[in-house]
Amino acid sequence: MRRTARGWPRALAVVLMVAAAGAGLSAACGGASGPAGLLEGSVTLGPIQPVEQAGGPPDSRPYAATVDITTPDGEVATTVRSGDDGRFSARLDAGRYRLVPRPPEGQPLPSAAPVDVTIVAGETTRVTIPYDTGIRLPD
């Protein structure tokens, strides 16, 4: 009985070492490297009319677009596409990202500026990406 009781700490240490090595291997092979958060976004297109009426309906609509999500060093972490309702979502490791909206292939308009976001573990971050139709002259 004494030998079995003394062997438990050693066996426990071996099990913990194997578990730690497995976790490290999972991260090295593309597994999650940290706690994740959720990014939820909407993409809009506007203005739709050349003249906006005061108190009138919104002068934008949902827009289906492709958005690259990049790390601070410019590497593309993932790419998302908003639906016809303009919505998209992505689960990302906690950290800073830049959302880089793509223009339609072969066309300069509509266009949208990059948006910086910070993802917090266990939280949902919401963002809106406004595409400009270019219908109005700049001020």
- What mean pLDDT value characterizes the chain? 83
Return the CATH class of domain 36-50+59-132.
mainly beta
Which of 36, 37, 32, 56 is closest to 46 using CA atoms? 56
Q: Which residues, in sequence order, are bridge partners of residue 117?
A: 97
**For residue 18, is pLDDT > 50?**
no
Q: What is the DSSP letter of 102?
A: P
Q: Is the pTM of this model over 0.85?
A: no
**For residue 38, is pLDDT > 60?**
yes
Give me the mean pLDDT over the 64-88 stretch: 98
Strand pairing report for 124-132 and 36-46: parallel
